Structure formats: C-alpha cells, structure tokens
Amino acid sequence: MSERNTSIRSLHDLGLAAWFGGSLMGAIGLNGAAADEGVAGAARDRIASSGWAKWAPVNAAAIGAHLFGGGGLLAVNAHRVATQKGVAASTTAKTVVTAAALAATAYARILGKKVELASSPDPQDAEKAAQHPIDLEKTRRQLACVQWVVPALTGGLVVLNALHGEQQRPAEQLPKMWERARSVVPFTS
C-alpha cells in the first residue's frame, strides 16, 4: 500500500510552491517596489510589467510541473480516489480550485500585457495599444485585484494538498475504504 512516487510528488509540490510564492512575491514585492520608486502612471506600469514579464516563463514552467505531477499523482492514486471515502470529493475540489487558479493566472497575464502595451514608449507597442484601446485605470484596478486572487487560490491548493496528505495516512485509508465499500455494496442478512 506504501508505494513511493517521489519524482512526481516533487514536481507537483515544487511547481505549486513556485506558483504560489512567485505570485505572492509579485503582488507584494514587485508591485510594491514599483510603487516605492516614486513614479506614477506609465513609468510605474513599465517597472512592474518588466518584472512580471521576466517571471512569466518561470511561472509557466512551475505551473507545467505542478500539472504534470498532479496528473501523475492522480494516475497512481486512482484506486484511492475510487474507493476511499472523501478522496474523490477533495480531488474534485482540488481540480476546481486548480482550474480557477489557471484561469486567474491567464487573466492576470492578459491584463498585464494590456497595461504593458498601453504604458510602453515603443512606437510599435503604442500602435498595437491604439488598435485595442482600453480604460487604463479600470484595467490597472482589475489587474491589481486578480494578482491577489492567484496567491489566494494557490494557497487554497496548498491546504488541499495537506488534506490529501492526511488522507494517505494508513489509519485513514483502510477504515475509509471499508466505509466506501459498505456504502456501495449492500449487505443482506
């Protein structure tokens, strides 16, 4: 019952750690540092956008590692999901929260690119921005909000991972599998 899956678990956990930590550091540190520079408007946007753009490939790799590891863990634990009471529900919750975190991350990147284009001094970027005008203040507010949603959701995933870890304790597995089996197969006297 105790099979080791260190590689996929490491991909899963390290990917999530980087996704959570990077998004939280960006919302607090990067955006805060841009604000502390004493510049406003487009200059502040350029500073923050530059940092977020440098982080984007690392974040994409972290998310990929987390998803790959999560898929691997789901494959090796399919029997637990199917038979242990409570595991299917927590796996479903984790899937829903992961999808929401992915959507929030993608939306933050889209908004970030809009702000980046609108604040860029590059004539080509200004031309692109002019083709797709935005309400810059509204977009900045939406971006600031969604940049806090990502660490909130990924933090929720950390909590759900802790729940999954608790569900893997031997004292949890056998009784919960027995309860699940009894609920599926009616016993007659």
**Domain locations in the chain as residue ranges:** 7-178
For the chain, residues with pLDDT lower than 50 are 1
- Rounded Cα distance, 60 and 109, in Å: 11
For residue 97, what pLDDT is reported? 98
Identify the CA nearest to 112 among candidates 49, 56, 61: 49
| C-alpha distances in Å from residue 66, one per residue of 4, 16, 26, 87, 189 | 18, 6, 19, 19, 48
- pTM reported for the whole predicted model: 0.82
For residue 189, what pLDDT is reported? 52
Q: Which residues of 121-154 are buried (b: 16+ CB within 10 A; e: fewer)?
A: eeeeeeeebeeeeeebeebbebbeebbbbbbbbb
For residue 173, what pLDDT is reported? 57
28 three-state secondary structure:
helix
In the Cβ-directed half-sphere of 78, how many Cα atoms lie within 13 Å? 4
